[in-house]
Structure 1
Amino acid sequence: MVTADDPATLVANSALFDHQVSAEGAADFLSRPGHILFLALSPDGEGVGFVSGVEMRHPDKQPEMFVYELGVDKDWRRRGVAKALLGALRGEARSRGCTGMWTGTEAANGPAIATYQSMGATVDTASVFITWDKL
């Protein structure tokens, strides 16, 4: 798990993310309680994938883990990296007392859906995500 004292690791592995990781953004994410990030490394120490999660709690529910983002370098896909990362996040979620894990993805993202299902997830096709792009 990448810890709050190592934001430079995320900056150095920006190629795995959608956008360039800033030192400020990495430090802020890693310092927030309940924010978790696992980084998968190749045998030579290069980052090949990551999973981030956020522990969530509502007053009338048990804690649960939101799988914020999962990314694996294209050259490392279909080698078990995503499953290992999700397994690490699930283990961390259990250690924190979370009773479930959830995420969202595009309906057309077959590889992600297949990965989640292979890890025991079910697909809820009745749910709808509502987003606000500007606040």
Structure 2
Amino acid sequence: MKTQIVTICDDLDHLVQQINCASWDDSNEVCEYDVESMKEYLQRQDTVFVACHDTEGTLLGIASSRIEIKPYGRELWLYVDEVDVCSDKRRKGAAKLIMQTLIGIARTRGCKELWLGAEVDNMPANALYHSLHPDQVASVVGYTYRMKDTDD
């Protein structure tokens, strides 16, 4: 099993096909990917996209994140947006390897911290994140505001 930090120079057609053909369930909330959106995402200097494959090249999971800068002190931190493991590939270490890769990226890029959130009822994710010995675990309430068309 290995992780790959995906760049604009990689075979994005193949990766997008793998993502779209993988087995995801409702807990993943993975939408249909397209190559152009992936290219736009990767062209931003602050994005970090990680893919995890088994030794045969089968996709096991993905993660999207970005490096942010605080508006004070110029401190960098890595915000992990999503860590998704294919529903039929779970409990084999892919998520742990992805997280270890992201922690390594945060260290090498000079980030002061890595931040991510998980739903309270997502027991497998919370167990994984606890096993990686976080410095802090906070109770957070999340809010989502969907932007509606102005023509409504």
Identify whether the pair has TM-score above 0.5, normalized to the shorter chain: yes
CA–CA separation in structure 1 for the residues paired with 2:89 and 2:130: 20
* Equivalent position to 1:88, from 101, 105, 128: 101
Map of 1:11 onto structure 2: 16
Larger Rg: 2
CA offsets, 1:62-110, max 9 Å, x none? 1100111001112221111111111111111111100111112211111
Q: Quick one: structure 1 residues 111 and 32, their matched pair in 2 at CA, closer, same or farther if it must change by over 3 Å?
A: same
CA contact (8 A) 1:10 1:26 kept: no
CA–CA separation in structure 1 for the residues paired with 2:141 and 2:88: 32
Question: After the TM superposition, which of the residue ranges 98-107 and 2-11 deviates more from structure 2?
Answer: 2-11
CA contact (8 A) 1:34 1:54 kept: yes
CA–CA separation in structure 2 for the residues paired with 1:99 and 1:90: 11
Q: Unpaired segments of 5 or more residues in structure 1?
A: none
CA RMSD of aligned residues (A): 1.6
* Equivalent position to 1:46, from 14, 33, 58: 58
> Which structure carries more strand by proportion?
2
Q: Unpaired segments of 5 or more residues in structure 2?
A: none
Give 1:20-99 correspondences, 5 Å limit.
Answer: 20-61=32-73, 62-99=75-112
* TM-score, normalised with respect to structure 1: 0.90
Q: How many residues align?
A: 134
The higher-RCO structure (CA 8 Å, 6+ apart) is 2
* TM-score, normalised with respect to structure 2: 0.81
Query: What percentage of residue pairs aligned between the two structures are identical?
Result: 31
CA–CA separation in structure 1 for the residues paired with 2:133 and 2:18: 29
